[in-house]
Structure 1
């Protein structure tokens, strides 16, 4: 009898918990992990700067050449923890967790870190080399869907979508947080095709050229109707 009462009490307690509390019992479901093509030292500095940018009070920080931990507190008392670990001299991994569970803020902190590291959004360079244009027999909605499918197939994370007038941009990040962008806009040709501009990274690099090739080839597979 006592066992039945105890089980019933536990069930009632679990039912009273909020969804965020249930998903945060040490499972890591509210932790956002990303990789960066930057050293652990640079990434750690970006983490500290990102917290301060959001007026999150840094309560503790400790680090060495292999990484470190930054702890902070929001005005409402929520705890923020950023773990930085080195994978090699030029790459690092970061886990951001906001207790009791705020995935959106964790993602925002990552985006602010990327900005501090000079990896905010993909931008065309003055000399070219990191952009490619294609013309497609798709409407804007179909082109956006193809861009999102392309990012998903390549294992990239879509971090933003913006519509201004007749131009739509889809921003994503590769496995090492390099920014990439798909920009869709009407073209002036008689066929009414959509012009898609692919942008990889923020400069002319071998990595950028490789990413452009992947973006274009995968987009073509999802678009189906492509014409230069």
Structure 2
């Protein structure tokens, strides 16, 4: 009887250790971002983002200071989203998928940002690296050049959001984090707009 109890106890400890190891791995590979919005707004964006990706929301608990949401992909992978209020206007969001699928977590963050408005993450959507440049060309030509560059580097454009004076391109390559490219058109006052672009708005007299 004693031997049987010891065996059962050992099995339970092994299972607990495996669960803790898996949980630690997922948390260690969680993707964390900050958004310039209060936690209630971010929480609403999180639930909308998961629903837009057809993820099942299993449980969600939150208050004015943040909350935690658990969900499941169609593949059975677990999704954990933790929202914390940093201050009255800033929230921190941590997303982990399965044992640390950072690419999937990046996609969820991009959807959260979409529902909040592009560019709301303080540290950037994908790791905080940012580079800016100015080019003398039209928005449409800049988009074509960007897509050619992505293709040459082995990146596939997975999402396009095109507006009258700006465009957002998201591209990814297997085994790497996604890249979010934002293109904006701006014509200096007194100069004609680039070919194919509307003229810049003139200030009211």
TM-score normalised by length of structure 2 = 0.51
CA 1:29–1:105 in 2, change beyond 3 Å: closer, same or farther?
Answer: same
SS at match of 1:166: helix
> Residue 83 of structure 1 contacts residue 94 of structure 1 at CA under 8 Å; is this kept in 2?
yes
Q: How far is 1:167 from its partner?
A: 5.0
CA 1:62–1:156 in 2, change beyond 3 Å: closer, same or farther?
Answer: same
SS at match of 2:86: strand
SS at match of 2:91: strand
Structure 2 CA distance, aligned partners of 1:158 and 1:76?
Answer: 33
Structure 1 CA distance, aligned partners of 2:146 and 2:96?
Answer: 34
> Which position in structure 2 is the counterpart of 1:106?
105
SS at match of 1:157: coil
> Which position in structure 2 is the counterpart of 1:181?
182
The alignment's C-alpha RMSD in Å is: 3.7
SS at match of 1:119: coil
> Which position in structure 2 is the counterpart of 1:141?
none
Q: What is the number of residues matched between the two proteins?
A: 124
> Which position in structure 1 is the counterpart of 2:63?
64
* 2:144 equivalent to 1:165: yes
Structure 2, gaps ≥5 residues long: 1-20, 132-141, 148-166, 171-179, 186-193, 195-205
> Which position in structure 1 is the counterpart of 2:46?
47
Structure 1, gaps ≥5 residues long: 1-22, 122-150, 173-178, 185-194, 196-228
CA 1:65–1:25 in 2, change beyond 3 Å: closer, same or farther?
Answer: closer
Structure 1 or 2: larger strand share?
Answer: 1
SS at match of 1:77: coil
> Residue 111 of structure 1 contacts residue 120 of structure 1 at CA under 8 Å; is this kept in 2?
no
> Which position in structure 2 is the counterpart of 1:95?
94
> Residue 24 of structure 1 contacts residue 101 of structure 1 at CA under 8 Å; is this kept in 2?
no
> Which position in structure 2 is the counterpart of 1:8?
none
SS at match of 1:26: helix
